[in-house]
Chain A
Amino acid sequence: MSHHIVEVRNLQHVYPDGTIAIKDVSFRITHGESVAIIGANGAGKSTLLQHLNGCLEPTGGDIRIGDTPLFKSTLPDIRRTVGMVFQNPDDQLFMPTVFDDVAFGPLNLGLSGEHVVKRVADALDQVGAGHLRDKPPYHLSGGEKKRVAIATVLAMSPDILVMDEPTSGLDPFARRQLMELLREFHHTKIFTSHDLDMVLELCERTIILHEGVIMADGSTGAIFKNDELLATCRLEKPLSMQICPLCSNKHPM
């Protein structure tokens, strides 16, 4: 099952305008791990994520997905292995109906007829969106769009699931539903998020990025207890780890 391993060594990325987004990043994520990549705005999270399926080309260093190094020639294989869910589902749902959108990936993989229909049905069922099959994406709510966006990726049977800000823009109920859904996936999962409570619940490991370098890589619980580290990286503890303002009489009532 070595397909499920993500290895990044001395990754660097400089944008054409000279901005250094990633200075030197190395990590190894193994099979079945659930890892959060957190950091302040502009820390390089999204840039890092876009390298994992070859949307951006590294300026230096290398990336391996399983035994396959990321090159132009290996891109099709890597893109099937690494499923990427974008932050804004409107960027991801571009086909006329939910069915067409979920079928887009499998059809590109060369599947046909019944296989595609089955893949689509399975993926939609997995995210509880079977009833949305024939709807156009612009008629869906934010939560529904997010679920369908995940289904579009699941339909390609990826080994690794990469998600950029999965809970952003969702109401509390939709957020909770999505978290329960993600908990059930047994893929290797990599998230970026500012929703640190979600990180605490779903990810056993956390990587903190700060100004293009890794400031910490370790167990989520230990990292969130380190106040000094969090303050340096412009982060703070998840709400659930902070003292309750009501019980501790700090609330100005």
Chain B
Amino acid sequence: MTSINAAVIDLKRLELMADGNSLIHLLDARAKVLVTLIFIISVVSFGRYELACLFPFFIFPAVMIALANLPPLYIARKILLLCPFVLMVGLFNPIFDRAVLYQVGHIGVSGGCISLFSLLIRSLLTLGAAFILVGTTGFTAICQALERLGIPQIFAVQLLFLHRYIFVLADETGRASRARELRSCGKKGLGVVSFGSLVGHLLLRTWQKAERIHTAMLARGFVGQFYTSRESRFGASELYFLLGWSSLFIALRYFDISGTLGGLVTGIAP
């Protein structure tokens, strides 16, 4: 099960990036979570045939990657891995929506093609923003920020536990699956039957582990309330960061910068 192990290592790499100490890393997580949220809302709120207006938004991931010293190729690879799912969602757009919207030379570009392309660009932007957020903040800090921003504690704690034990579960799945492969001698190894039993066992083991963890929590005085001792500061730099980016996103959302620039250039050029 090299793919599971590789995925875990890859996830750990993204987490390790959050340990950096660039300007962006040092900002309070709440500011980064809010900016990313506003960015995502601005990007997805465009109409389905909007394409040109989306391109100026690439400034956000570009600047963030540069300032936070994140490896751009790694982020690009992570986004590309998810692109097939996006393509699946928009695959039928060009088939069902054949009305020609633009004419490029002799070729008519249908609305379906434009909407598919727009969907792809939006996915690139939003997925990129999400990966950048995790890479500069870390999953834990994001959960804590969400809690401080008002989501119920129980959801934040669930997310934290999920993140903590995904590594343990992935390890266990990898081991169980390898044991199955080794005894299937290159064949299917009883196919779905043995696979079903393997998944069932993993579920039961998870259940038992949950009980042991709960016991460990009770042994240390847990009575249902999670306390955190982490201090954080939402200072001037966080405020500038939040206001700066959000006003840019809102401006880009309501003013067609690419259209204006294009008009300017084509107006001047003969």
Q: Which A positions have Cβ atoms within 8 angstroms of B?
A: 50, 53, 55, 76, 79-80, 83-84, 86, 88, 90-92, 94-97, 100, 103-105, 107-109, 112-113, 116-117, 134, 136-139, 152-153, 156
**Cross-chain contact of B164 among A84, A96, A117 (Cβ < 8 A):** A96
Of the listed stretches B58-66, B123-131, B189-197, B216-224, name the one at the interface; the rest are far from the partner chain: B216-224
Q: List 9 A-B contacts (CB under 8 A).
A: A86-B212, A91-B209, A94-B165, A97-B140, A100-B230, A108-B227, A136-B15, A139-B12, A156-B221
Does B229 contact A112, Cβ atoms closer than 8 Å?
Answer: yes
Q: Smallest Cβ distance from B241 to chain A, in angstroms?
A: 23
**A to B contact number (C-beta, < 8 Å):** 77
Most chain-A CB neighbours within 10 Å: which of B15, B165, B215, B221?
B221
A100 — which chain B residues lie within 8 A by C-beta?
A: 228, 230
A97 — which chain B residues lie within 8 A by C-beta?
A: 140
| With contact pairs A103-B229, A137-B164 given, residues A108 and B221 touching in the complex (Cβ less than 8 Å) | yes
Most chain-B CB neighbours within 10 Å: which of A84, A97, A100?
A100
**Cross-chain contact of A94 among B217, B223, B227 (Cβ < 8 A):** B217
The distance in angstroms between the C-alpha atoms of A108 and B217, with both chains bound, is 10
The distance in angstroms between the C-alpha atoms of A76 and B213, with both chains bound, is 17
Q: Smallest Cβ distance from B232 to chain A, in angstroms?
A: 14
Does any Cβ of A come within 8 Å of B168's Cβ?
yes
Most chain-A CB neighbours within 10 Å: which of B140, B143, B219, B229?
B219
The distance in angstroms between the C-alpha atoms of A97 and B139, with both chains bound, is 11
Using CB atoms, name the residue of chain A closest to B209.
A91
Q: Smallest Cβ distance from B212 to chain A, in angstroms?
A: 4
Q: Smallest Cβ distance from A60 to chain B, in angstroms?
A: 22
CB-defined interface of B224-240 with A at 8 Å, one 1/0 digit per residue? 00011110000000000
Does A152 contact B220, Cβ atoms closer than 8 Å?
Answer: yes
Does any Cβ of A come within 8 Å of B163's Cβ?
yes
Using CB atoms, name the residue of chain B closest to A107.
B227
Most chain-A CB neighbours within 10 Å: which of B12, B168, B227?
B227
Interface SS majority for chain B: helix
**Cross-chain contact of A91 among B12, B140, B212, B221 (Cβ < 8 A):** B212
Does any Cβ of A come within 8 Å of B44's Cβ?
no
Using CB atoms, name the residue of chain B closest to A84.
B219
Does any Cβ of A come within 8 Å of B161's Cβ?
yes
B140 — which chain A residues lie within 8 A by C-beta?
A: 96-97, 136
Does B229 contact A117, Cβ atoms closer than 8 Å?
Answer: yes
Does any Cβ of A come within 8 Å of B26's Cβ?
no
**Cross-chain contact of B218 among A55, A94, A116, A153 (Cβ < 8 A):** A55
B217 — which chain A residues lie within 8 A by C-beta?
A: 94, 104
B46 — which chain A residues lie within 8 A by C-beta?
A: none
Does B221 contact A79, Cβ atoms closer than 8 Å?
Answer: yes
Q: Smallest Cβ distance from A85 to chain B, in angstroms?
A: 9
Does any Cβ of A come within 8 Å of B167's Cβ?
yes
Given A100-B230, A108-B223, list of 20 further CB < 8 A pairs? A76-B221, A79-B220, A83-B219, A84-B219, A86-B212, A91-B209, A91-B212, A91-B215, A92-B216, A94-B165, A94-B213, A96-B140, A96-B160, A100-B228, A103-B229, A105-B220, A105-B221, A107-B229, A108-B220, A116-B229
Does B164 contact A55, Cβ atoms closer than 8 Å?
Answer: no
The distance in angstroms between the C-alpha atoms of A108 and B163, with both chains bound, is 22
Does A79 contact B219, Cβ atoms closer than 8 Å?
Answer: yes
B168 — which chain A residues lie within 8 A by C-beta?
A: 90, 138
The distance in angstroms between the C-alpha atoms of A83 and B219, with both chains bound, is 7
The distance in angstroms between the C-alpha atoms of A218 and B164, with both chains bound, is 43
The distance in angstroms between the C-alpha atoms of A97 and B209, with both chains bound, is 19
Using CB atoms, name the residue of chain A closest to B167.
A138
Q: Smallest Cβ distance from B228 to chain A, in angstroms?
A: 7
B12 — which chain A residues lie within 8 A by C-beta?
A: 138-139
The distance in angstroms between the C-alpha atoms of A84 and B139, with both chains bound, is 29
The distance in angstroms between the C-alpha atoms of A25 and B91, with both chains bound, is 69
Most chain-A CB neighbours within 10 Å: which of B167, B213, B220, B230?
B220
A116 — which chain B residues lie within 8 A by C-beta?
A: 229
A103 — which chain B residues lie within 8 A by C-beta?
A: 229
Q: Smallest Cβ distance from A92 to chain B, in angstroms?
A: 5
The distance in angstroms between the C-alpha atoms of A80 and B213, with both chains bound, is 17
| With contact pairs A107-B227, A108-B227, A113-B229 given, residues A94 and B216 touching in the complex (Cβ less than 8 Å) | yes
Q: Smallest Cβ distance from A188 to chain B, in angstroms?
A: 17
| With contact pairs A88-B212, A107-B227, A138-B167 given, residues A94 and B219 touching in the complex (Cβ less than 8 Å) | no
B143 — which chain A residues lie within 8 A by C-beta?
A: 96
Using CB atoms, name the residue of chain B closest to A135.
B19
CB-defined interface of B60-95 with A at 8 Å, one 1/0 digit per residue? 000000000000000000000000000000000000
B139 — which chain A residues lie within 8 A by C-beta?
A: 96
Using CB atoms, name the residue of chain B closest to A56.
B215
B15 — which chain A residues lie within 8 A by C-beta?
A: 136
Q: Smallest Cβ distance from B39 to chain A, in angstroms?
A: 25
